[in-house]
Amino acid sequence: MSEEYLLKATNISKRYGIIQALDNVDFDLLAGEVHALVGENGAGKSTLMKILSGIELPDSGTIEMDGKKVIIDSPRSALKQGISIVTQEFNVIPHLTVYENIFLGHEEIFDGNIILNKKEAVNRTLELLSLFGMEYQINPLSKLQDLSVAEQQIIEILKAVSYESKIIILDEPTATLTENETSKLFEIIRDLKAKNVGFIIVTHRFNEIFEISDRITVLRDGKLVISGCSIKEMDEQKLVRAMVGREIKEFYGQKNKQAKKEEVKPILEVKNLCDMYDFLKNVTFEAYPGQILGFAGLVGAGRTTLARCIFGVDNYKSGEVIVDGKMLKKYSPRDSIKAGMGLVTENRKEEGLFLDLSFLLNCVFTKTANQRGGILQHKKEQNDCYDIAERIRIRYGHLYDKARNLSGGNQQKVVLGRWMLTKPKILILDEPTRGIDVATKTEIYNIIYDLASQGVCIIVISSELPEILGICDRVIVMRDGAIVADMNISDASEEIIVGYASFGKAITAN
């Protein structure tokens, strides 16, 4: 490892509306090292990556490369200056071949010829593949869609190498890889390190951080917590504490703490649920009326998949979902609603709202859709709409305004209110406060308490640990599609949950 800075970013700040995504953050990268960038969701990792790869421009701050100040204002200029990014969603084109994908966008390296010299391109691809001993595994003429996910990822990295990038940013590179593939990837990273390439790696998997990286930077709420600390001076506990380290404020509103009533019959029982892709592994749990049950875990731990299977949005391969003693036989949201369930999805714009239809329609849609009779009762619907708007304080202009014109917080309330009108016995909320301002968050928590006190079983999926700890009575932690912990909230802490979510075991603080 040589001691020259490939990249030095100082005082980077970035603001999105009211959210300060990055606040005077410094970051540097040496040639031939792997620098891990760690933090909880919303800590600012992806914003920093976007800035370094030219997708976003910082509000302030400077970036230097090789001691000279540079401006990275587009992904293309990042590439030209030697920075490549491999994102979670690959940028490969499935219908094109390996060599076409690798040289897509910089065909000019072939002596400025407009027509791609196929033979030359194939040979260059083979050379690149042979760097990693993959020339017998991957045929440059195969189409990308016929390669495994790991192989596609390797192609992405080769693409970065073909640009002769000095800096390669990897976003959750192992999220979709098996253990074997991961170790193959790490071999490649080590090979390139020896050639003085610097890596910035963003990952949630702690064991991999300790395996591959040389230094580590931790972000929290857009601020630096640990800056470029050598990995030798870190351990798991320090890392967890640095990531979490927040206090739970009064922010979570008033909750009538209810002790779990063991004698009550469960309203929801899930037994040995496996999804169609065998990601969920025999998930079994039960939930009780009036209970607020939190689901914690890393992004991709299977919480959303579980919710979608329970509610019948996605089919499941095996297992049982029992509501109030009755087993759900069919897989469709309609049957789940009839049984008394509701689901607020994590992405209200894609799967919740009818953005270009009226506020009124959005509020009453689910109730009307699941009632008898084919003719709409406008007067009744209007009254329902006024009722719910008043009850959960939705601020709107007119009943016939488009849902698009409501603020994010009010939109979320509309989706929530829509389900409240159906009077569900079980309400599943997937990231109910994502992208919502602080004041509305508290309002939504109060709605949740209110519903729970009326005996509704609330299941909250949240990636914000303070939220889980602040509002839930009980928490289930998932990791890689399986439940790894189920405890009362009084037994839980951020350290314990992060420990289970990341390692599948408790990391006890000293």
Partner 1 sequence: MNEVANKVKYSKFKLIRQNYRSELGIAVALVFFFIVISIVAPNFATATNMANLMSQIAIIGILAIGQHFVIITGGIDLSIGNLLGLSAMTMALVMSATKNMYLGMLVALLTGAMVGLINGSLISLVGLPPFIATLGSMAVTRSVDYLLCNGRAVNITVPGFGKITSASITGAFRIYYVAIVVIYIIMSWVLSNTKFGRYLYAIGSNENAARIAGVITKKIKIFAYVTSGLMAAIGGILLASKLESVDPNYGTSYEMDTIAAVVIGGALMTGGKGTLVGTALGVILMGVIKNGLDIIGVSPYWQGFAVGIIIILALIIEKITNIKQKN
Laid out side by side, the sheet with 341-344 consists of: 341-344, 426-430, 457-461, 292-297, 474-479, 482-488
CB of 354 to partner 1, least distance (A): 4
Site string for partner 1, 200-219 (x = CB under 8 A): --------------------
Q: Using the rule CB under 8 A, which residue among 115, 350, 379, 510 binds partner 1? A: 350
Q: Using the rule CB under 8 A, which residue among 94, 245, 397, 504 binds partner 1? A: 397
Q: What angle do CA 477, 480, 482 make, to 5 degrees?
A: 55
Q: Which is nearer to partner 1, 112 or 373 (CB)?
A: 373
The span of 14-22, 64-72, 111-119, 366-374 binding partner 1 (CB under 8 A) equals 366-374
189, two tokens: 């990273």
CB of 344 to partner 1, least distance (A): 9
Q: Which is nearer to partner 1, 198 or 342 (CB)?
A: 342
CB of 343 to partner 1, least distance (A): 6
| Nearest alpha-carbon partner for 215 in 232, 202, 203 | 232
Q: Whole-angstrom Cα distance, residue 331 to residue 340?
A: 14
65, two tokens: 């490369």
Q: Using the rule CB under 8 A, which residue among 386, 439, 454, 504 binds partner 1? A: 386
Asked whether 269 and 319 are in contact (CB, 8 A), the reply is no
Q: Which is nearer to partner 1, 419 or 500 (CB)?
A: 419
Asked whether 310 and 327 are in contact (CB, 8 A), the reply is no
Q: Whole-angstrom Cα distance, residue 439 to residue 10?
A: 33
Site string for partner 1, 249-268 (x = CB under 8 A): --------------------
CB of 394 to partner 1, least distance (A): 9
Asked whether 492 and 248 are in contact (CB, 8 A), the reply is no
CB of 397 to partner 1, least distance (A): 5
| Residue ranges in 285-324 that form contacts with partner 1 under rule CB under 8 A | 311, 313
Q: Whole-angstrom Cα distance, residue 174 to residue 213?
A: 14
CB of 267 to partner 1, least distance (A): 19
Sorted by sequence, the CB contacts under 8 Å of residue 41 that are 6+ apart come out as 299, 463, 464
- The answer to whether 247 contacts partner 1 (rule: CB under 8 A) is no
Q: Which is nearer to partner 1, 244 or 357 (CB)?
A: 357
Q: Which is nearer to partner 1, 55 or 355 (CB)?
A: 355
CB of 353 to partner 1, least distance (A): 6
- The answer to whether 277 contacts partner 1 (rule: CB under 8 A) is no
Asked whether 72 and 54 are in contact (CB, 8 A), the reply is yes
Sorted by sequence, the CB contacts under 8 Å of residue 301 that are 6+ apart come out as 478, 479, 480, 481, 501
Q: Using the rule CB under 8 A, which residue among 256, 263, 375, 510 binds partner 1? A: 375
CB of 381 to partner 1, least distance (A): 10
Q: Whole-angstrom Cα distance, residue 279 to residue 266?
A: 26
Question: Count residues contacting partner 1 (CB under 8 A)?
Answer: 37
The span of 88-96, 118-126, 332-340, 494-502 binding partner 1 (CB under 8 A) equals 332-340
- The answer to whether 389 contacts partner 1 (rule: CB under 8 A) is yes
Q: Using the rule CB under 8 A, which residue among 158, 337, 461, 501 binds partner 1? A: 337
The helix-helix angle for 378-391 and 359-369 (nearest 10°) equals 110
The span of 140-148, 226-234, 295-303, 386-394 binding partner 1 (CB under 8 A) equals 386-394
**DSSP assignment of 252-308:** G---------TTSPPSEEEEEEEETTS-S-SEEEEE-TT-EEEEEE-TTSSHHHHHH
Q: Using the rule CB under 8 A, which residue among 368, 407, 442, 446 binds partner 1? A: 368
Q: How many CB atoms lie within 10 A of CB 350?
A: 9
- The answer to whether 353 contacts partner 1 (rule: CB under 8 A) is yes
| Residue ranges in 404-433 that form contacts with partner 1 under rule CB under 8 A | 418
- The answer to whether 89 contacts partner 1 (rule: CB under 8 A) is no
Q: Tell me the torsion sign for CA atoms 103, 104, 109, 115.
A: positive
Asked whether 347 and 432 are in contact (CB, 8 A), the reply is no
Asked whether 385 and 360 are in contact (CB, 8 A), the reply is yes
Q: Whole-angstrom Cα distance, residue 54 to residue 66?
A: 17
The span of 46-54, 383-391, 467-475, 487-495 binding partner 1 (CB under 8 A) equals 383-391
The span of 10-18, 298-306, 397-405, 498-506 binding partner 1 (CB under 8 A) equals 397-405
| Residue ranges in 92-121 that form contacts with partner 1 under rule CB under 8 A | none
CB of 443 to partner 1, least distance (A): 16
Asked whether 268 and 449 are in contact (CB, 8 A), the reply is no
Q: Give me the residues that bind partner 1 (CB under 8 A), please.
A: 311, 313, 332-334, 337-338, 343, 345, 350-357, 361, 365-366, 368-370, 373-376, 378, 383, 386-387, 389-390, 397-398, 400, 418
